[in-house]
Amino acid sequence: MITKRISTEAILEKLQAKRAAKKPIMIASAGSGLVAKILEESGVDCINTFSGARLRANGMGTMSMMWPILDSNHQTLTYTREDIMPALKGQSFVCACLNANDPLRDMRMVLNDCMAMGVNSVSNIGPSISYVDKDSEIFNVLTSAGITLQNEIDMLKLAREEMGMVTIGLTFTKDDALELVEGARPHIFCYHAGTTKGGRTGYDNGVTIAETARETEDVYQAVRKIDPNIILVGHGAAMETPDDAQYMLDHTSGDGFWTGSSTERLPIERAVTAAAAEFTSLTFNS
């Protein structure tokens, strides 16, 4: 098995060509090689790997990655190397979502590991401190312990400026979006409007797709004032179905979207449930 490498130049050229042709850019998460293979065959531009997707493939909720039950970077690097990269043909590029607040690793070494396996793109959601509400006690405790958004910004900046990687920044709030884009200048920015609703482990906070679009567009406009050329994609909250994604394309000025559960957990739940129900309904001839 020889995994095809995709250069930074080739990745950015393809993304800019799609943008110029007004074709939506699509990023999608994969927690297994099978899902990654299907996503690539379907024309997804970027397949991202992260501990939440791996846990999701095991039936847990994405947010289970927030608990100290695993070494996030180890899991991401291991399953990306063993499950994802061998499954792909090099038509989609892979973005590894890393924990930049890892106290046990020099992030330069982690980035080198990514590049050695053919991963030429990274993001800061593995997980990110931006998940945590700013007015919470846990946020204050984490930041006082040195777990900060600045560490994520520094990793993205190192990846882009010194190592020549494609960087994808992601935050959950407008303030964090402005700080990250100003500090790291990622090639792509994704505004995460919240955990995707639907299915067994989704979370529905009552936000509508119209509200998701309005909130996302507000962040887009603010981010573009910092970097007019940045590629913008949206993710999460009420964006559950293709119709929802189309609504986001129609009602925001973004360049595409990022799917997680929508193209992984939810369709697997539906397909396996339907197929299993058919099989379990079979009977012997009397």
Structure confidence by residue, pLDDT tens digits, 264-281: 888 888 999 999 999 999
Q: 65-93, pLDDT tens digit by residue?
A: 777 777 999 999 999 999 999 999 999 99
- Whether the pLDDT of residue 200 is over 60: the answer is no
Residue-level pLDDT at 11: 97
**Superfamily of 8-277 according to CATH:** Aldolase class I (3.20.20.70)
d(CA 256, CA 232): 7
d(CA 101, CA 147): 6
Q: 37-49, pLDDT tens digit by residue?
A: 999 999 999 999 9
Report helix, strand or coil for 102: coil
Closest CA to 262 of 220, 199, 174, 170: 199
Q: Please tell me the pTM assigned to this model.
A: 0.91
Q: Percentage of residues in the chain with pLDDT exceeding 70?
A: 93
Beta bridge partners of 233: 190, 256
Residue-level pLDDT at 215: 94
C-beta of residue 235 within 8 angstroms of C-beta of residue 259: yes
Closest CA to 91 of 47, 35, 49, 121: 47
Residue-level pLDDT at 260: 84
Residue-level pLDDT at 276: 95
Q: How confident is the model at residue 240 (pLDDT cuts 50, 70, 90)?
A: confident
d(CA 157, CA 263): 30
Length of the chain: 286
Tokens found for residue 108: 């330069």
Question: Average pLDDT of the chain?
Answer: 91
Beta bridge partners of 97: 123
Closest CA to 171 of 112, 115, 215, 135: 215
Task: Name the DSSP letter for residue 163.
Answer: T
Residue-level pLDDT at 198: 52
Distance of CA 176 to the CA centre of its chain: 16
Q: How confident is the model at residue 204 (pLDDT cuts 50, 70, 90)?
A: low
- Whether the pLDDT of residue 61 is over 80: the answer is no
Q: How confident is the model at residue 203 (pLDDT cuts 50, 70, 90)?
A: low
d(CA 285, CA 266): 35
Distance of CA 93 to the CA centre of its chain: 13
Q: How confident is the model at residue 236 (pLDDT cuts 50, 70, 90)?
A: confident
Residue-level pLDDT at 120: 97
Residue-level pLDDT at 105: 94
Tokens found for residue 77: 């690097």
